[in-house]
Structure 1
Amino acid sequence: MKHGGQRQYGPLGRVLVIIPTYDEAQNIGPIVERVRASVPEAHVLVADDNSPDGTGKLADELAAEDDHVHVLHRAGKEGLGAAYLAGFAWGMAEGYGVLVEMDADGSHQPEELPRLLTALKGADLVLGSRWVPGGRVVNWPRSRQFLSRGGSTYSRLMLDVPIRDVTGGYRAFRRETLEGLGLGEVASQGYCFQVDLARRAAHRGFHVVEVPITFVERERGDSKMNRDIVVEALWRITAWGVGTRARQLLGRRHT
């Protein structure tokens, strides 16, 4: 809705923080505790991909003690994108107005979530950004910083989106935004999943705001980043970029 040329946003509604897990037994308790302390009114959904290390069982124990914690047990390891899509579907079916993406390993600091939610009062999607002024990363080697910065820059240029941290995974969506992204068409995983949602939001005219965050490298457990995720992101982003440029060229020819 617009008033005087400016969009008027409605209230946020209930908040659901979705935390996908696979072998995060060392991290799930501390991250849920930090979320509950940082935004006490928020609910948490642990979307566990049948972790062999018992993460799902630990999450069940947390849920039994706290009615703001819920667990979505999935059949097996199907990737980050599939876990988030399942979490989004669960959250929207349960009537949540805001759905938040957050890693289980502590790299996304729950203490910064209130700032994302405040920004969401005037936006459709808020991204926790490492690559805007005030954003930073802690304990990352230069090679990892180069990969992340380079991936975001390549994505931004190829896809023509005005977003500095296109690959970041700390995000707060209004449910109406997710409903308008065509989630049924999303099949990408990993970093590529995050790029896909960001480009869909930008290209469909949603108001996207980036809030600086401090990204902290995990201290416990193993990173899920691997070569396959990087390769998938590269070829998908390139294909999307070629399609975007082709549509722009055809549009100019018909004007």
Structure 2
Amino acid sequence: MSDSVIIIPTYNEIGNIENILNQIQDLNLLFDVIVVDDNSPDKTGELVKAFILKKKYKINLLLIERESKNGLGSAYIEGFRKSLTLNYKYIFQLDCDGSHDPRKLIEMKNSLNSKSDIVVGSRYVKGISVLHWPLSRLLLSIFANYYVKVITGMKVSDSTGGFNGYSRKALKSILKNNISFQGYAFQIQMKFIGNRLGYNIDEIPIIFKDREVGESKMSINIFYEAFFGILIMKIKSLFNSYKS
């Protein structure tokens, strides 16, 4: 068993899950994996279960099966809580769709091991490192991250990204608070609470590429949640303190 675990939420990712697990297994450093599947109609969860039964991977692979699609945020939180129960020291989150290069996990772990409490795989910390996105999507992402910096006061260049890592101490503290968002706003809220609690956030530059298989989960509701929800979150934070 490794001291580090990667939480991977899945919903209709049968075309991607095997490839991402292969990449994680091929790393020079051992990472365990917890897959949180939201009862995927394409049987992603069934495939992962088959991998576990056949002992296809040398890494420690665990599957959490949920009854329905209840949102990205709640999937991550369930995975996070399981990782804390299992006493992992470092907890990472990674998209299943191939957008994030697992090889960056080693650099991110080194950061947590030496200088940071939260590490962000950032698309914007050194210019713009995004491949194959339409211009409209890229501009929306850049605007969203600028908006978050202005509203929250955080100095993080990529608050909306989903390639992040947490020390056990930081994650445990953050989860003592109410994490109310589900989409991109969930990623922002996690970092915002961590920042307010005084945890050090480091950004590691990554190259983000759009998914090649499957469909994006982006929707107008996710955008509205982030746009208005973050403003409300900031206002509430002026009158309430966070638990540590």
Q: Secondary structure at the match of 1:205?
A: coil
> What is the CA deviation profile of residues 119-175 of structure 1, one whole-angstrom value per residue up to 9, with x for unaligned ones?
111110000000111650110111111111111110111011111111111001011
User: Do the aligned partners of residues 183 and 80 (structure 1) sit closer, same or farther apart at CA in structure 2, a change above 3 Å counting?
Assistant: farther
Residue 110 of structure 1: aligned partner: 102
Q: Check whether the contact 2:170–2:199 (CA below 8 A) recurs between aligned residues.
A: yes
Gaps (5+ residues) in structure 2? none
One of 61, 71, 76 as aligned partner of 1:69: 61
One of 85, 89, 106 as aligned partner of 2:77: 85
Once the 2 structures are TM-superposed, how far is the Cα of residue 184 of structure 1 from its aligned partner? 4.6
Equivalent residue letter for 2:39 = N
Counting matched residue pairs gives 235
1:19 equivalent in alignment to 2:8:
yes
Once the 2 structures are TM-superposed, how far is the Cα of residue 242 of structure 1 from its aligned partner? 3.1
Residue 200 of structure 1: aligned partner: 193
One of 147, 152, 164 as aligned partner of 1:159: 152
Q: Tell me whether 73-82 or 60-69 shows the greater mean CA deviation.
A: 60-69
Equivalent residue letter for 1:222 = E
Tell me how far apart the structure 1 counterparts of residues 216 and 32 of structure 2 sit (CA, whole Å). 25
Q: Check whether the contact 1:16–1:45 (CA below 8 A) recurs between aligned residues.
A: yes
Aligned structure 1 segments of 4 or more residues deviating by more than 4 angstroms:
none
1:191 equivalent in alignment to 2:184:
yes
Q: Tell me whether 165-174 or 31-40 shows the greater mean CA deviation.
A: 31-40
Once the 2 structures are TM-superposed, how far is the Cα of residue 240 of structure 1 from its aligned partner? 2.0
Gaps (5+ residues) in structure 1? 1-12, 249-255
Equivalent residue letter for 2:170 = T
Equivalent residue letter for 1:139 = H
One of 194, 205, 209 as aligned partner of 2:202: 209
Tell me how far apart the structure 2 counterparts of residues 96 and 111 of structure 1 sit (CA, whole Å). 20
1:54 equivalent in alignment to 2:43:
yes
One of 158, 166, 175 as aligned partner of 1:173: 166
Tell me how far apart the structure 2 counterparts of residues 192 and 110 of structure 1 sit (CA, whole Å). 23
Tell me how far apart the structure 2 counterparts of residues 15 and 236 of structure 1 sit (CA, whole Å). 31
Once the 2 structures are TM-superposed, how far is the Cα of residue 105 of structure 1 from its aligned partner? 0.2
One of 81, 87, 93 as aligned partner of 1:101: 93
Equivalent residue letter for 1:209 = D
> What is the CA deviation profile of residues 179-226 of structure 1, one whole-angstrom value per residue up to 9, with x for unaligned ones?
111445112111000000011111110000000000010000000001
Q: Check whether the contact 2:45–2:63 (CA below 8 A) recurs between aligned residues.
A: yes
Tell me how far apart the structure 2 counterparts of residues 131 and 123 of structure 1 sit (CA, whole Å). 19
Tell me how far apart the structure 1 counterparts of residues 152 and 228 of structure 2 sit (CA, whole Å). 13
Tell me how far apart the structure 2 counterparts of residues 40 and 58 of structure 1 sit (CA, whole Å). 25
Once the 2 structures are TM-superposed, how far is the Cα of residue 57 of structure 1 from its aligned partner? 0.6
Q: Secondary structure at the match of 1:221?
A: coil
Once the 2 structures are TM-superposed, how far is the Cα of residue 17 of structure 1 from its aligned partner? 0.4
RMSD of aligned C-alpha atoms?
Answer: 1.6
Tell me how far apart the structure 2 counterparts of residues 49 and 166 of structure 1 sit (CA, whole Å). 25
> What is the CA deviation profile of residues 63-97 of structure 1, one whole-angstrom value per residue up to 9, with x for unaligned ones?
22135111111111001000000000111111111
Report which of the two structures shows the higher radius of gyration computed on alpha carbons. Answer: 1
Q: Secondary structure at the match of 2:203?
A: strand
Q: Tell me whether 129-138 or 88-97 shows the greater mean CA deviation.
A: 129-138
Tell me how far apart the structure 2 counterparts of residues 173 and 165 of structure 1 sit (CA, whole Å). 15
User: Do the aligned partners of residues 145 and 186 (structure 1) sit closer, same or farther apart at CA in structure 2, a change above 3 Å counting?
Assistant: same
Q: Check whether the contact 1:135–1:212 (CA below 8 A) recurs between aligned residues.
A: no
